[in-house]
Amino acid sequence: MKYIFSILIALSACKIPISKTADAAEAPHKKLQAASVEVLLNGRLVGSGCVASPSGQVLTANHVAVNDKDKLEILSLTLGRHPVTVLARDRGHDLLLLALPKRDAPYPHLTVAAAAPRVGEQVWLYGAPVFRHRVTLPGTIARAGTTFEFYDGAFREIQHIAALAPMGTSGGPWVNAHGELIGVQSAAMSINNNQQGIAFVAPWTAIRALLKNPRTIESATMNAAVEEIWGQSPETIGKLPKNARGLVARHVRAKGAAALAGLREWDLITAIDTKPVERTDDLMRRIRAKQPGQSIELKVTDRIGKNPRTLKVKLVPIK
C-alpha cells in the first residue's frame, strides 16, 4: 500500500496538462464541424475540404478531382449533401476551389488566419481518414516558410507539418488554435507507402491568393524532378568529380519539356540561368518565377561530370 501511495503522489506531482490540451483542441473542433465537408466524386468519398467563404466557396486538394466532367458533391454534417462546381485550380499548390449553390443565408465557413503559422505552433487537421467521418488530428508546424516536394509528377510548393495524415484527409483544412485556416492537406512523406510523420500542406499564402482572386493559376514546370547530391548513394557520389556541385536529374518525363531540350536521367544540373545551383529550393524558385511558355537555361553534364552542355528548356504548365 505504501508503494502504491508513493506512485500516486509522484503522478500527481507531474501535473500533466491533459485537460489544457483537450481545451486547446475543443475550440477549433467546433468551428471545423460546422464548416468542414467531405468530397464525393461520382458518389464515392475521395477527400475532405472546408467552406472558406460566406458565399460557399469550398477548398479541397486538386488531386482528389482532376477532371471537370466528373460529378462532384459535398457531404456535410450541418449542410447535408449538395452538388458543387469547379471555380478554379492551382495545381502548383494542389488546390481546388469549388462553389456551393447560391443561397440568401451565408454559409458557415472558416476564415483564413491573418498571419502565417510559426514553427512549433500546434495545429489541427479535420477530415475523413479511411472513410471515417469528422476526425480531428493534431500536428505541429515543422519548418519556417515553404519548400518544394515532388509527387504526382510535379513539384508542389508546400508547408511541412509534423503529423500523420491518412488517406481520406486530402483536402482537409489545417487550422490554428483559433480555428483559423492555415493550410490544406495535400500529401505526406512516405517510404514504401509507410508515412514518416511529415505532412505536405498547401500553404497559407497560396490559400489567401486563390480566395482573393478565384481563377485558375498555371505554374511552370520542366517535366522533371531533381535530387540533391548529398542524398545520393555512396557509389553515385564516388563517380562524380571531387567537389562536384549540382542537382541530379530524376524522373525526366519522356517527350516532356526537359527531355525535348536534351536533359537525360541522372544528368547533373550545375547552373540555371548562369547561377550555380545545388539545392532543390533554389532551382524551383527560379522556375516558379517564370510563366509557362518562358524558358530557362540549364548547364548540365553527364552523371560522371563529363560532356558539359547548355540546354534551353521551354517551360510548360503543370497538368
Domains of the chain: 19-216 (2.40.10.120), 220-317 (2.30.42.10)
Compute CA 107 distance to the chain's CA centroid, rounded to the nearest angstrom: 26
Burial of 67 (0-12, 13-18, 19+ CB in 10 A): exposed
Counting every residue written for the chain, the total comes to: 319
Helices (H) and strands (E) in the chain, counts: 6, 22
255, three cell numbers: 517527350
Sorting pLDDT into bands at 50, 70 and 90, what band is 31? confident
Burial of 200 (0-12, 13-18, 19+ CB in 10 A): buried
Instruction: Give the residue carrying C-alpha cell 507531474.
Output: 14
Classify strands 194-203 and 220-221 as parallel, antiparallel or unpaired: unpaired
Overall average pLDDT of the 118-147 stretch:
96
Q: What is the per-residue pLDDT across 143-158, written as a single tens digit (0 to 9) for each?
A: 999 999 999 999 999 9
Q: What is the CA radius of gyration of the chain?
A: 23
Burial of 203 (0-12, 13-18, 19+ CB in 10 A): buried
Q: What is the per-residue pLDDT across 12-26, written as a single tens digit (0 to 9) for each?
A: 444 445 455 556 556
Q: What is the per-residue pLDDT across 221-250, written as a single tens digit (0 to 9) for each?
A: 999 999 999 999 999 999 898 889 999 999
301, three cell numbers: 553534364
Closest CA to 272 of 218, 220, 233: 220
pLDDT computed for residue 207 by the predictor:
98
Pairwise CA distance, residues 146 & 161, whole Å = 11
What mean pLDDT is reported for the chain? 92
Extract long-range pairs of 120-124: CB within 8 Å, 24+ residues apart: 121/176, 121/177, 122/24, 122/177, 123/161, 123/174, 123/175, 123/176, 123/177, 123/182, 123/183, 124/25, 124/28, 124/29, 124/32, 124/174, 124/175
Overall average pLDDT of the 190-218 stretch:
96
